């Protein structure tokens, strides 16, 4: 690996052929280093991983460095920019629009074009397909098109002239999926089909990780793009998510409910052996349910033998899959939902069978709560190694650029996803002025297992109150887990915080997205009055997915290190990496500190933001852990003792 610490680098001149793409009059600290490093990496067909805090201007930086190569190369290179959310995709399209405009205003002719994509189920107007799961949406759409029963698709054929004009209009522009939906609605065209038709005219495609990570979607997607992986420059935004997305994609699960539905399908088709199989499987799952508390490792070979004691494997699973496909066709012919449990259960056991001798998987039975709140059981195939999905992809692309604000130590990331030795690792400076952040760590306090008692929670509540009173306007409090939140709650945190005069907002485990959105809007509006307090959990949606610049959050208090429960799957992951410190860091320490870093970063989103970060757990700064904290506040943490008023004094001094 080639590690570059930007503190040791001097500002370098950006070559003029690259600089013309940068749409602002001047670059921020570190942007020049990033642009030159990316440009160099791409020219040498190498991978590059960059740690850059939020507010750095990473999107415009990476686009400015990559686009000149697209123009200069004879290889018809494409950029595939992977994001997690629609908001992030919109941001990429907005920055690309700025660059295209800037080039045209500067007198350069350019035919650069880009588009952001969403899945079929959110780029479809047909009421029967909308909001279906991806596989059902695909089946329904194919059938509707075969039967010419989707007017949005037939309109494309009826109006070839209008379609051509639309495709020409979209080319050489940066088009967001929401804009395409709007245009297509006006024309009565299918947005999904139009996006497919325009894809091979675009240089930059912005989409979700799944489009390339899923081996099933990947081939089809590349075919629509009329390209191959060796012509793809891959950009992964918020790359710290990539390992988890990859392992989730390679994992699978079978719920008790799915087996009950399998039996119903088999009964309606009158296939007694499948009904017998389903009932035997339910009995096995019931037996497991009686033995487990939360999660229990099981032998994949023994379980397979037990479940299939009267059936031949893999022939029986193949048969289930075939029966499921027939069921899907039958349902479609009757205009019904084609979802098949014969198909999904058959696919699950084929997966189990194919993976049961692989060391990269962990097999378990676990309990879960149904929507109705009842306790149920499921079988799980848990992927332990993101390399299985990522290595075949990363070894074939022309080059890849990985960006994140919470990816340090970088070499852990490059190692876990299997990037080659030649990969460049770059750590960029924080754009935030040091004096804008006060980071404090309290000695003598922890949410460590044995310390979770009323005395500890009361101490936490006292510190939270002190900080909330001293921080002006809005404050976020993020706990290590719902268990800690519950402990604080039982020990009276609500009344204590309400007595500060600020309005309290409590994140609930089962809140719907809409309820949460409404709550966040109200919390944000509290800046008009005395301020609000948002009480949530590290790793929760408000600690990771929301931005709170300016007074929307002037401080983040992190109560405890958000380590995951040491479940059997975490232990399996540690063992998979050799049971060493490295395994513990990958499986246990890094994810915990990433959650804490994400929560701590909520109030600092732009270079003008000021905020206090209060780390309420002495373990945050222990020598083994400190390296996992984000560099932008790690270097300036002040240690405070348990003296009364010390926290208040430090915060008041900062806000003076
Ligand atoms: S053709 Fe388009 S609008 Fe029609 S069902 Fe398929 S995705 Fe939906």
184 lines ligand 1 (CB under 6 A): no
If you take atom 8 of ligand 1, which residue's CA is the nearest one?
124
Question: Could you tell me if 526 and 590 lie in one domain?
Answer: yes
Question: Could you tell me if 374 and 489 lie in one domain?
Answer: no
Q: What is the pLDDT of residue 635?
A: 85
DSSP string, 37-67: HHHHHHHTT--EEEE--TTS-HHHHHHHHHH
Give the CATH number of the domain where residue 470 resides.
3.40.50.300
Domain boundary residue among 324, 354, 383?
383
Question: Could you tell me if 508 and 599 lie in one domain?
Answer: yes
Q: Are 343 and 332 in contact (CB under 8 A)?
A: no
Q: Strand, coil or helix: what is 570?
A: helix
If you take atom 1 of ligand 1, which residue's CA is the nearest one?
153
Mutation choice for ligand 1 from 128, 136, 158, 193, CB with most ligand atoms inside 8 A:
193
143 lines ligand 1 (CB under 6 A): no
Burial of 510 (0-12, 13-18, 19+ CB in 10 A): exposed
Share the mean pLDDT of the chain. Answer: 91
What is the strand order of the sheet 174-175 is part of? 2-5, 424-427, 48-51, 399-404, 232-236, 78-83, 204-208, 114-116, 174-175
Measured in Å, residue 651 CA sits from the centre of ligand 1 at: 56
Mutation choice for ligand 1 from 117, 129, 132, CB with most ligand atoms inside 8 A:
129
Measured in Å, residue 334 CA sits from the centre of ligand 1 at: 18
In a 13 Å sphere around the CA of 623, the CA atoms on its Cβ side amount to: 0
Measured in Å, residue 296 CA sits from the centre of ligand 1 at: 43
Tell me whether residue 409 is in a domain: no
Residue owning tokens 């610490």? 5
Structural domain boundaries enclosing 343: 250-383
The tokens of 125 are what? 């107007």
Query: Which tens digit of pLDDT belongs to each residue from 516-558?
Result: 889 999 999 999 989 999 999 999 888 986 789 889 999 999 9
Residue 128 CA, closest ligand 1 atom number? 5
Tell me whether residue 258 is in a domain: yes
Measured in Å, residue 513 CA sits from the centre of ligand 1 at: 26
Q: Which residues face 285 on adjacent strands?
A: none
329 lines ligand 1 (CB under 6 A): no
Question: Could you tell me if 648 and 556 lie in one domain?
Answer: yes
Question: Could you tell me if 447 and 377 lie in one domain?
Answer: no
425 lines ligand 1 (CB under 6 A): no
438 lines ligand 1 (CB under 6 A): no
Tell me whether residue 395 is in a domain: no
91 lines ligand 1 (CB under 6 A): no
Question: Could you tell me if 482 and 349 lie in one domain?
Answer: no
Q: Strand, coil or helix: what is 304?
A: helix
Tell me whether residue 259 is in a domain: yes
Question: Could you tell me if 477 and 592 lie in one domain?
Answer: yes
141 lines ligand 1 (CB under 6 A): yes
Q: For residue 405, how far is the Cα from the chain centroid? A: 13
Measured in Å, residue 126 CA sits from the centre of ligand 1 at: 6
152 lines ligand 1 (CB under 6 A): yes
Q: What is the pLDDT of residue 357?
A: 96
Asked if the peptide bond before residue 244 counts as cis, ω within 30 degrees of 0, the response is no
Tell me whether residue 583 is in a domain: yes
Measure CA of the first residue to CA of the last residue in the chain; give whole Å. Answer: 45
* 297/567 Cα distance (integer angstroms): 10
Residue 130 CA, closest ligand 1 atom number? 8
* 225/114 Cα distance (integer angstroms): 12
If you take atom 7 of ligand 1, which residue's CA is the nearest one?
124
Residue 142 CA, closest ligand 1 atom number? 6
Low-confidence residues of the chain, pLDDT below 70? 1-12, 72-73, 545
125 lines ligand 1 (CB under 6 A): yes
The stretches of 111-255 forming alpha helices (DSSP H) are 134-146, 151-158, 160-170, 177-187, 191-199, 210-213, 215-225, 242-250
118 lines ligand 1 (CB under 6 A): no
Tally of domains in the chain: 2
The tokens of 508 are what? 């609930």
Among 513, 460, 514, smallest CA distance to 483 is for 460
Question: Could you tell me if 448 and 376 lie in one domain?
Answer: no
The tokens of 110 are what? 């350019």
If you take atom 6 of ligand 1, which residue's CA is the nearest one?
141
The tokens of 431 are what? 């754009």
* 143/150 Cα distance (integer angstroms): 9
Measured in Å, residue 180 CA sits from the centre of ligand 1 at: 14
Q: Kindly report the length of the chain.
A: 656
Question: Could you tell me if 509 and 642 lie in one domain?
Answer: yes
98 lines ligand 1 (CB under 6 A): no
Mutation choice for ligand 1 from 184, 190, 338, CB with most ligand atoms inside 8 A:
190
The tokens of 19 are what? 């600089």
DSSP string, 216-285: HHHHHHHHHHT--GGGEEEEETTGGGHHHHHHHHH-EEEEHHHHHHHHHHHHHHT-HHHHHHHHHHHHHH
Tell me whether residue 182 is in a domain: no
192 lines ligand 1 (CB under 6 A): yes
145 lines ligand 1 (CB under 6 A): yes
**Is the C-alpha dihedral spanning 105, 111, 112, 114 positive or negative?**
positive
Tell me whether residue 574 is in a domain: yes
Domain boundary residue among 324, 352, 383?
383
If you take atom 5 of ligand 1, which residue's CA is the nearest one?
141
Q: What is the pLDDT of residue 409?
A: 84
Q: How many helices (H) and strands (E) does the chain have?
A: 30, 20
Question: Could you tell me if 486 and 591 lie in one domain?
Answer: yes
Give the CATH number of the domain where residue 353 resides.
1.10.275.40
If you take atom 2 of ligand 1, which residue's CA is the nearest one?
190
144 lines ligand 1 (CB under 6 A): yes
Question: Could you tell me if 449 and 530 lie in one domain?
Answer: yes
Tell me whether residue 647 is in a domain: yes
Measured in Å, residue 127 CA sits from the centre of ligand 1 at: 9
The widest CA-to-CA distance across the chain, in whole angstroms, is 78
* 192/207 Cα distance (integer angstroms): 13
* 557/238 Cα distance (integer angstroms): 23
Measured in Å, residue 122 CA sits from the centre of ligand 1 at: 10
Question: Could you tell me if 378 and 439 lie in one domain?
Answer: no
Q: pTM here?
A: 0.87
The tokens of 50 are what? 């960059």
């Amino acid at each position: 690996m080639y590690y570059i610490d930007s503190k040791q680098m001097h500002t370098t001149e950006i070559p003029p052929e690259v600089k013309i793409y940068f749409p602002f009059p001047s670059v921020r600290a570190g942007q020049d280093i990033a642009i030159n490093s990316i440009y160099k990496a791409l020219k040498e067909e190498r991978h590059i991983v960059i740690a850059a805090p939020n507010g750095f201007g990473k999107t415009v930086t990476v686009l400015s460095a990559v686009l000149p190569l697209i123009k200069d190369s004879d290889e018809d290179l494409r950029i595939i920019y992977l994001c997690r959310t629609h908001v992030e995709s919109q941001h990429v399209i907005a920055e690309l629009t700025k660059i295209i405009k800037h080039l045209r205003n500067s007198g350069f002719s350019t035919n650069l074009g880009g588009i952001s994509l969403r899945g079929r189920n959110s780029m479809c107007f047909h009421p029967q397909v909308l909001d279906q799961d991806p596989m059902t949406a695909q089946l329904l759409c194919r059938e509707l098109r075969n039967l010419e029963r989707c007017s949005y698709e037939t309109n494309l054929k009826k109006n070839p002239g209008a379609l051509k004009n639309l495709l020409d209009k979209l080319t050489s522009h940066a088009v967001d999926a929401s804009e395409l939906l709007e245009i297509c609605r006006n024309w009565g065209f299918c947005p999904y089909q139009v996006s497919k038709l325009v894809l091979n005219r675009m240089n930059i495609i912005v989409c979700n990780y799944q489009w390339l990570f899923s081996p099933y979607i990947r081939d089809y997607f590349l075919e629509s793009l009329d390209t191959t992986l060796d012509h793809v420059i891959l950009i992964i935004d918020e790359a710290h998510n990539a390992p988890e997305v990859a392992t989730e994609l390679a994992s699978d699960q079978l719920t008790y409910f799915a087996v009950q539905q399998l039996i119903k399908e088999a009964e309606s088709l009158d296939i007694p052996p499948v009904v017998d199989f389903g009932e035997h499987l339910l009995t096995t799952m019931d037996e497991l349910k009686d033995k487990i508390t939360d999660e229990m490792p099981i032998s994949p070979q023994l379980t397979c033998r037990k479940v299939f004691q009267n059936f031949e494997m893999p022939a029986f699973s193949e048969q289930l899959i075939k029966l499921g496909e027939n069921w899907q066709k039958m349902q479609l012919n009757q205009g019904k939902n084609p979802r098949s449990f014969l198909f999904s259960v058959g696919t699950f056991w084929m997966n189990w069978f194919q993976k049961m001798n692989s060391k990269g998987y962990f097999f378990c039975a676990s309990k879960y709560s149904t929507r109705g709140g009842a306790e149920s059981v499921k079988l799980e195939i848990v992927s332990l190694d993101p390399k299985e999905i990522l290595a075949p992809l990363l070894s074939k692309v022309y080059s890849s650029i990985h960006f994140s604000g919470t990816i340090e130590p970088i070499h852990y990331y490059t190692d876990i996803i299997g990037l080659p030795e030649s990969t460049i690792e770059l750590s960029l400076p924080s754009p935030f002025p040091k004096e804008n952040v006060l980071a404090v760590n309290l000695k003598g306090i922890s949410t460590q297992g044995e310390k979770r008692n009323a005395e500890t929670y009361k101490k936490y509540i006292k510190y939270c109150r002190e900080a909330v009173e001293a921080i002006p306007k809005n404050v976020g409090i993020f706990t290590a887990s719902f268990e800690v939140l519950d402990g604080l709650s039982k020990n009276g945190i609500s009344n204590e915080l309400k007595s500060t005069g600020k309005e309290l907002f409590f994140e609930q485990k089962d809140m719907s997205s809409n309820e949460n959105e409404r709550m966040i809007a109200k919390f944000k509006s509290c800046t008009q009055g005395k301020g609000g307090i948002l009480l949530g959990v590290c790793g929760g949606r408000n600690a990771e997915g929301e931005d709170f610049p300016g007074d929307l959050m002037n401080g983040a208090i992190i109560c405890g290190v958000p380590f995951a429960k040491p479940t059997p799957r975490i232990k399996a992951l540690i063992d998979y990496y050799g049971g060493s410190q490295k395994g513990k860091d990958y499986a246990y320490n890094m994810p915990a500190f990433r959650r804490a870093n994400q929560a701590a970063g909520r109030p600092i989103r732009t270079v003008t933001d000021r905020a206090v970060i209060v780390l309420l757990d002495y373990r945050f700064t222990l020598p083994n852990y400190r390296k996992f904290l984000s560099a932008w506040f790690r270097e300036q943490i002040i240690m405070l003792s348990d003296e009364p008023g010390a926290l208040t004094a430090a915060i008041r001094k900062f806000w003076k």
